[in-house]
């Protein structure tokens, strides 16, 4: 992985459990505000999807976007699961 890709993954790890941030947010966080598409490509290469929660990165319009290089319900399911866990912990 490149330095850029590792910076993307490190920024992604700072997103709190049950919350989301946009690809744009990640790009700004690593000091590369115009590298939104490159952020998506770096997340696509995430070698540790369980440890590095790339599913928490969504599009600016609030839609999920791709997950592990594919479109599908996996990303939404993981986010819903995290929110359910938080809700149960708060009960």
The catalytic residues are 54
For 6-40, give one letter per residue: b (16+ CB within 10 A) or e.
ebbbebbeebeebebbbbbbbbbbbeeeebbebbb
């Amino acid at each position: 992985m490149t330095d850029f890709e590792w910076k993307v993954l490190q920024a992604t790890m700072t997103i709190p459990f049950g919350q989301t941030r946009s690809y744009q947010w990640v790009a700004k966080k690593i000091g590369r505000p115009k590298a939104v598409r490159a952020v998506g490509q770096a997340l696509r290469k995430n070698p540790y999807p369980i440890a590095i929660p790339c599913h928490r990165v969504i599009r600016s319009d609030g839609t999920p976007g791709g997950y592990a290089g594919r479109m599908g319900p996996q990303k939404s399911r993981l986010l819903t699961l995290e929110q359910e866990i938080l809700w149960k912990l708060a009960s």
